[in-house]
Each structure stands twice: as structure tokens, then as C-alpha cells.
Chain A
């Protein structure tokens, strides 16, 4: 009975926060003289209007799912892995190494497999660095992560303008495209790659299983819940924290390698395109529930692609997608706070 009451209260606050969030978004659109209704239609058409556009939604979904799945490990361990952007970049850089070395020597499927593995290792290395700074260097993982993001950007820029520069003139458009044989196969002539999607979905499933049903997942939860308590219980907390960083980094690194192999076919300066930060929002909104990642990531991906249409159709900035995503997550967090606050008030009155 009591649990029923608290569930319905929870829903009231969730629905309430959603309504306020939507009102806020509508207000922002009205402020620049736009029409919220026209925005909805335009974004819907932008995301689902043609096969090409829908394929781009699916193409963006894969890296988002990978990063959000990885982030569930760090969130479960009580860590804010803001370094995920840099981990994606390192994945992209590392994937380029076997491609540059072997693209003309080895068979394409082997090179692709090596590139994805290298990406995972590169991301893992960057994730572990943040973890080592946190565990042994006493640097908050937030700042270690942001710092490593700057370094990863610097490294990518250095490679693009230095050793890996395009024959002729180096530019912000990135390195030279590699041979078409190494491109990941896509559905028809679209950007969506079945390989990327399969990898993302299977790693999502793996995340779900590991966090739900393994001893490792349980230990991570214990560490995330209370570092001290888990230490007393004899769980090697430090190695749990490091493995969470390593796993998340590897997932992000795979996402980076897929961006290189399937989308850009070269290294570009902003290979992560803010997808890591967006994945942080997705993981937050899911409340660390793995099964919720897929629908949320799909919706956010549709917002991203749908908004690209806005400058052309309605003369509005495409950053509206970010405004919508941020507002939804902000009000969801506040709504969660309200429901918890009132639940504890309820408990108090019951107790007295």
C-alpha cells in the first residue's frame, strides 16, 4: 500500500517536471520568435522524413549507446567520468594507427578489427589515466577528466597538423581519407553501419548483465555506495574504481574508432562531437538503469539529427537540441529531488 502511494507520488513529480520542462523549452523558442509547433514538425521531419535522415539517427545512436553503457560502470562506482570526451578522441586516434600502418598490406576485415581493438585500448588507456590520477594522485576525477580532454584535443590537433597532415596543406577538415575498403559497410548508401549498431547493442546487453547479475557488478555497487564500507568489507575498492574507468574508457574508445571507421573515414579535430557529454546526460536521465538507455539514447539521437534541419527550415540555431536535452535532464533531476524530499517528509510524519 505504502509502496503504491510512493510510486504514484513519484510519477506525479516526474510528469510535473516534464510539463514544466516542456513549457520552459516552448518559452525559449517563443523568445527568439519561433513557433514551438513548427519546431516539433520540422524536427520530426528532420529526423524521420527520409531514409537517409533516419539512418543518421541510427548512426549517432551507436556511439551514444556505447558511451552511455560505459558510463553506467563509472556511475555505479560513484564516479563522474567527465573525461569520456577525451577517451572517445583517444579511441579515434588509436584506431588510425593500424589503419595507417596496414591498410595496403593486410586484408580489410583484419585491419578493421585491429582498428576497433586499438580504439578500445586507446580509450582504456585514457580512462585508466584519469583513474590513476584519482586513486593515486588525489585529483578529483572531474578535473583529471577535463584536463585529459584538453590533452586529447591537443594531441589530435597536433597529429592532424603535424605528423599525419594531409599531403599538401594541413587543415581543420582533418587527415586524408583512407581507402574505401576499410570503411565499415553501411545500410545502402546511408551513414548507418550495421556492424557499429550490433557492437553497441551487444555491449549494452553485456552492461545490463554484468551490472545486474555478476559479483563484479555487485562489488561496483558496494564501492559506489560507500567507499569506506566496502573497504571494511574487504572489497579491493581501488581496483574496482580502476576497472570501472578502464571499462568506460574502452567503450568510449570503441565509439571513437567507429566514428573514424563508419562516419568520418579520417581523423578530424572534434571526433567526439560532444557525444560523450551527451551520453553523460543520457546516463543521468536513466537513473543508471541499463534498459532505459536504449529509448533515451534513441530519442536524444533523433533530437540531434532533427535539429540539423532547423537553420534551413525555420532559421533557428541547431543548438536547440542541446537546450531540449539539457532542460529535460535538469527538470528530471529536480523532479526526482522533489519526490524524494516529500517521501522523506511522509516518513517523518509517519514516524512521529
Chain B
């Protein structure tokens, strides 16, 4: 395998991780505000269907307007589902997990029921667009700048989310309502309102992830087309330690695992395809188990203290302190 082959595998891995980047960043924002939106699996399925259906039916308007409408509809779908989670959890103070889980199943079944006319038909897709000048940079050009606009937007989104979290005042408040809602409330923040806002914003991004599948990387829609990706997105948020940069890198890691799986398929033919398709999901969960358990910490203690500490720092992650907890303002 030569360099250009490796670069092409990596570039495919990075590009195909794009929907997951949108979904995980959305979920990161929601969870950083202290709310778990467990419905990602159902949200992605339903918004993938809605995005494709809207883009397909408005195809006559031209590719760009129909795509914009499709992505808009998908974002609205995601936000609408998030609104139910927020209302049930923040206003009615019911279990976030229960409501999210029911919406996971409901979203999946609704997508199958309503999307039947749109199964496996050609529709508009995001056109490829190579960035002038940047695409000619050796290695980085073919790796990052020879795909399409959606991919570049996802790069921007990673950067912007990170900057927002750690370099702006509203970002600080966002982290505060997830860590110390009482303190944020005392400082004059309307905790419940802000949690609503970030849950909806995060939900809209998860919805865009759905459209990114159906209007770009899977180019079309079919029953249970994106099955598994919502769960993997939720796991990646934990694996990435609720930090936008690490979360995005974890998405790419998953993309690389998937690319390797498809390479493995041609090189080791006696392992059945069906097993190889689930392998990246299993490995990602195993990574999660390894990094978040105490067992790894015990192992690291055996290393020289300085190296062990450095590794522990880079993989250690703690959930937002008030994640999933009810906050009563009065």
C-alpha cells in the first residue's frame, strides 16, 4: 500500500464521518447544557427521511434550493423532536432517558411508515466542490479539500463549537448550566430557558446529520438506512469527553475503522461481510469501555508516573456534573 492509497482511504474516512460530526457536536452541545437527548438514533432516521422527501419533492426548483429546503426541513425535524425531550424533561420533569428512548423507537418507525414512497429512488445530492488553491497543497489538499461543501462546513463547525465553548462568554455560561446550574442561576442566567435553547440547537444539528446521510453520503433513503449511527454518535460524545475537538477526532477514528473494515473485506475473504459491518461499532464501544473504566487507570499506574499521567490526562473525561439532573428554579 503506497502513500496515495493511504491518503485516499483517510480522505474517504474523513468525508464519510461528516454526518457523525454534525450529530456528535449537536449532542455535545445538548449534553454540555445538562440535558441528555437519547433520541439521536430515531432523530437521524426520521430527519434523513424528511430531508430526502422534501428535497425530492422540491427538485423542480433546482438542485441548490431543493437541497437547502431538505437540510432545513431535517434541522426542523431534529429541533421538533428535541423540543419534546426538552418539554418532557425540563417542564414536566419526567425521565429524560425514558422520553428519549421512546422517541428513538417512534422516530425509527415513523420514518419507515411515512417514508415508504421515497424508498430507493434517485434524488438530489450535494455536488462535489474542490476548494481552489487549497486542494493543491500536498497531502492536506487531497485529504481535506477535495470533497464537498458539507464537509467543509463540518470542519468550520468543529472549530466554531470549540471556540464558542472555551473562548466566549455565552460558551462559558453554557458549560456553567451543565456543571453548576444553581450558580449560573444565581448569576442571573435563566437556566431552564437556556437548556431549552441548547437542546433545540443540538437537536437541529442531529437532524442535519440525518440529511447529510440521505442527501450526501448515502445518496438516498431506505428503511432503517442509518441504523446504528445514532447510538454510535451518543457513545462517541462520551468517548470524546464532551470536548468538541476530541469528539470530532473520535468521529474520524470511527470513520477510519469503517474504511479499514471495508479494506479487510477484500483482503480476508473468509470473514463474512455481515460481521465486518458490525465490527467498527463493536470496536468503538470496546474503546469506550477501556477508556472510561477504572481498569485502565490501574494499568496506567504501572507505567512511569509522568507518562502515565500524560496518557490519563489525554483520555480522561468527566461528564458535565449536572447532566440529566432536574433543576428547579424556585
Contacts and interface: CB of A to CB of B under 8 A. Distances in A.
Interface of A: 28, 31-32, 80, 82, 133, 136-140, 142-144, 146-147, 150-151, 153-154, 157-158, 161-162, 170, 172, 269, 277, 280-281, 284, 316-317, 319-323, 325-327, 329-330, 333-334, 336-338, 340-341
13 contacts: A32-B116, A138-B294, A140-B238, A161-B275, A316-B116, A319-B112, A320-B113, A322-B108, A323-B110, A330-B84, A333-B99, A334-B87, A341-B93
Interface string B140-160: 000000000000000000000
Secondary structure type dominating chain B contacts: helix
Interface in B116-170: 116
B275 A157 contact: yes
Interface string B80-98: 0000100110011111011
A140 B237 CA distance: 13
B114 A336 contact: no
Contacts of A147: 235, 281-282, 285-286, 288-289
A335 to B, nearest CB: 9
B102 A330 contact: yes
Contacts of A319: 108-110, 112-113, 223
A322 B106 CA distance: 7
Contacts of A323: 106, 109-110, 113
Given A138-B294, A333-B88, A143 B102 contact: no
Given A139-B292, A157-B274, A161-B275, 17 more contacts: A32-B113, A80-B98, A140-B238, A143-B235, A146-B235, A146-B285, A153-B278, A158-B272, A158-B275, A284-B98, A284-B102, A319-B223, A322-B113, A323-B113, A326-B110, A330-B84, A334-B99
Main secondary structure on chain A at its contact with chain B? helix
A27 to B, nearest CB: 11
B183 interface: no
Interface in B283-303: 285-286, 288-289, 292-295
Contact of A143 (B108, B109, B234, B274): B234
A158 B278 CA distance: 10
Minimum-distance CB pairs A-B, first 5: A337-B92, A147-B285, A322-B109, A326-B106, A161-B272
A163 to B, nearest CB: 11
B64 interface: no
B314 to A, nearest CB: 18
A32 B114 contact: yes
B43 to A, nearest CB: 13
A277 B98 CA distance: 12
Contacts of A320: 109, 113
Contact of B102 (A172, A281, A337, A340): A281
B327 interface: no
Q: Which of A153, A320, A326, A340 has the most CB of B within 10 A?
A: A326
